[in-house]
Structure 1
Amino acid sequence: MGRNLIGGSRVAGVISRYWWLILLPALFAAYLALVSLLTELGKASDTDSGTSPYFESALTLAPWHSDAAASYASYLRAYAVTLPLDAEREALLERVLALYERAMEGRPLWPYYHLGAFDAEYLLNRSAESIQARFDRVTSLAPNERGLDRNLLELSLYSWNKLRSDQKQWVVLRLQKTQGTIRRDMLDIIKELKAYNLNLCTEMPWKLVRRACQ
């Protein structure tokens, strides 16, 4: 009986010293809930500023949070494109790219983050080598991801002169196979761009682009 009392007192002593461990799961859940709440508030806020206290707070609390980083990148991108071509716009787009890169650290195989980075690099007028490398990365991660089609094809058309010949061929094949509504929208973009880049008409099959290039 004495041994039982001694054992019981030891257990009680351990519990009294480490009782706070019992609260850790609840505290961690509250922490995640707070980060998610701040992220959702950031997503719901108007994109009328070059900063967001909600996203800033979320990323201060959880620098590893990929969704918060990518959502903040989308927020800043939406604001940056409303600005004139100046240093502020460029600085914001550089941050957009950095945020997508941060998001990729947590989810390196998620193609939509790479697509967001592709968009930022296009807007920053990055080199052909950078554009080609990003295109390769997106298409290698999701060669058959139809959800990417619209944005990837649109970015590819705007970046046409910086793509390699094999990448252009990939775009042509994708245009031929994609949904009719998306293909029509892409042809409308070609129609708008042909005045600035006639290569879109001369380097694609005439049967595909005839309506847009006539």
Structure 2
Amino acid sequence: MAAKGLVYGPLGSSCVHLCVDMQRLFAPGGPWAIPWTQKVMPAIEELAARHAQRTLFTRFIPAARPGEGQGMWARYYRRWAEVTLASIDRDFVELMPTLRRLVPPAKVLDKHVYSPWTEGHLDSVLKNWEVNTLVITGGETDVCVLATVLGAIDRGFRVVLVTDALCSSSDSTHDAIMELYHSRFSEQVEATTVQGVLDGWH
């Protein structure tokens, strides 16, 4: 089982809160609305506000127009032509307002695929900040959060998943991925609540 709670000790100055894709795209009324966002937002807001200087928000940026993208991404954006930048209000890519107000001191990193690692910018930021621990929140548990977690594990980061600050549009796959984290990554992943993080990050 994945470690429950901060079993490897308290969090400190080498820790960053990495909040995945909490944007208007996925808010109620957005083109890819995730109903759970409303449920987890208070926990994310509290954590981000408490550690704004050590919070990094990722934003998923859709293709500019239908059919644009490398390989299968071109097919993806033919399927989702209505969510390309040519078709939506650009404000949909922005963070949700209660999070956007924290920038700065919080920072934003844009990405064009599920993983925040493939374009190289995140590696550079974390190296400059001398980070060894990532506290991960956001959505979706079974898509962009999954890509974020696996990349962090491969790079040797201590990974802390905040269980009450993750969301998905699918209950069944959210539950399946949480079980995957719990059952297969026992040495690399800790799972705790936002209160557990707040109590353990000084």
TM-score (normalizing by structure 1)? 0.30
TM-score (normalizing by structure 2)? 0.31
Q: Which has the larger radius of gyration?
A: 1
Which structure has more relative contact order (CA 8 Å, sep 6+)? It is 2
